[in-house]
Amino acid sequence: MSGIKILGYGLSQGDKIVSNSDLEKIIDTSDSWIREKTGIERRFFSVEKNNLDMAEEAAKRAVENSDVKVCDIDLILVCTFTPDYATPSVACGVAGRLNLGKGVMCMDINAACSGFVYGLNIAKAMLESKASKCVLLIGSEKISPLLNMEDRSSCILFGDGAGALILGADEEGLFESSSGVLYDDEILFCDRSNPKVSMRGQEVYRFAVNKVPEIIREVMAKGGCSAEDVDRFVFHQANLRIIDSAAAKLKIPENKIYKNVQNYGNTSGASIGICMAEMMEKGLLKAGMKVVCCGFGAGLTYGATFFTVGE
Ligand code: UT7
């Protein structure tokens, strides 16, 4: 059995705060509608910074607040569906900006809003197999240029940002995962020929409120625990109503759930990374705690992990 240790954490946001009232000025919407339907109050759009700039900022902050030397990092994973280039990857760019080269493996993971959960799985597998000793796992998204600002049902939802964790192996730790895909390219997609996010919101909503509790129950059963035993639940931040519905079905007390969708909107593959970095900063993720993370989104992908935070 082997788990993960969190050795460092870092955050970055888009450079422009966009409130619901700002959106009221350009589309037919209202602050009250957005808050009531999603819980979102504002989001960051990145005007000056590209995806790599945010990933680099989060990565450098993670290194700064850890005891890890940059040269210890031997795997860089960036969870993103919005890389600046088809190739090279954002992960290669981060390696370049950290002056890393020989002995480092770099790759982007595109699993949309399940990205960070899939990234945790890959990091853990690489650490457990000893193929890696120190993983820099980043979720970074610049979604704003891909928004159709004439589609009020989708453009109000998303934002830009990055969250990074530096992970090491915890020989004594627990780590379980469950995941899946229900292939669909019509409900939620972004086509290269017309690169704008397109979504049938109600169908995604129904998928999420059904799959999230199911996959969390499954991963908790693998970990031999119930919601009572888990200290922290970290959901992909898409919509407060989805989180609250899952919490009600699983009978999770409010104080175990971390929410920041109010401030960021939906940052897709970055959202769980941003949550975890903020939780570390606030002292909400401590060694020995049992944590469940759950992501869901385009693909349609879904996944959950259960792990203990290593010493
Ligand atoms: O990471 C995963 C990605 N996505 C998600 O998790 C999204 C999941 N889905 C949702 O969160 C919800 O479906 C939305 C928040 C996107 C929409 O909420 P809804 O309750 O499903 O609204 P709806 O699409 O059924 O629309 C209800 C009404 C419609 O008006 P009429 O036809 O009833 O007159 C829409 O035109 O709300 C209208 N509407 C808006 N009104 C004001 C849709 N968007 C807006 C808006 N402002 N931004």
Q: What residue spans define the domains of the chain?
A: 1-311
Q: How many residues does the chain have?
A: 311
Q: What is the pLDDT of residue 51?
A: 98
Cβ 208 under 6 angstroms from ligand 1: yes
Cβ 35 under 6 angstroms from ligand 1: no
DSSP string computed for 235-271: E--S-HHHHHHHHHHHT--GGGEE--HHHH-B-GGGH
Per-residue pLDDT, averaged over 35-62, amounts to 98
pLDDT in tens, 107-121: 999 999 999 999 999
In the predicted structure, residue 33 carries a pLDDT above the cut 80: yes
Single-letter amino acid, residue 35: R
User: Residue with the nearest Cα to atom 30 of ligand 1?
Assistant: 153
Q: Which of 203, 89, 196 is nearest to 143 (CA)?
A: 196
**Which atom of ligand 1 is the closest one to the Cα of 239?**
11
Per-residue pLDDT, averaged over 72-97, amounts to 98
Indicate the DSSP class of residue 309: B
**Which atom of ligand 1 is the closest one to the Cα of 208?**
6
Please tell me which residue, 246 or 2, carries the higher pLDDT value.
246
Q: What is the pLDDT of residue 24?
A: 97
| Domain 1-311 -> CATH class | alpha beta
113 among known catalytic residues: yes
Kindly give the pairing relationship between strand 194-199 and strand 188-191: antiparallel
Q: What is the pLDDT of residue 311?
A: 85
Q: What is the pLDDT of residue 1?
A: 61
Per-residue pLDDT, averaged over 60-68, amounts to 97
Indicate the DSSP class of residue 144: G
Q: Which of 243, 129, 151, 241 is nearest to 197 (CA)?
A: 151
pLDDT in tens, 135-190: 999 999 999 999 999 999 999 999 999 999 999 999 999 999 999 999 999 999 99
Percentage with pLDDT > 90 across the chain: 99
What b-and-e string marks burial along 261-298, b requiring 16 or more CB atoms within 10 Å of the CB?
bebbbbbbbbbbbbbbbbbbeeeebeeeebbbbbbbbb
Cβ 205 under 6 angstroms from ligand 1: yes
Residue where the block lists tokens 């915890």: 170
Q: Residue 300 C-alpha to ligand 1 middle, in angstroms?
A: 19
Q: What is the pLDDT of residue 77?
A: 98
Per-residue pLDDT, averaged over 199-204, amounts to 96
Alpha-carbon torsion angle 185, 189, 194, 195, nearest 10: -150
pLDDT in tens, 245-303: 999 999 999 999 999 999 999 999 999 999 999 999 999 999 999 999 999 999 999 99
Cβ 29 under 6 angstroms from ligand 1: yes
3-state secondary structure of 128: helix
Cβ 245 under 6 angstroms from ligand 1: no
Q: What is the pLDDT of residue 287?
A: 95
Residues 6+ apart with CB under 8 A from 8: 62, 63, 64, 65, 66, 68, 164, 165, 166
Per-residue pLDDT, averaged over 74-98, amounts to 98
User: Residue with the nearest Cα to atom 41 of ligand 1?
Assistant: 29
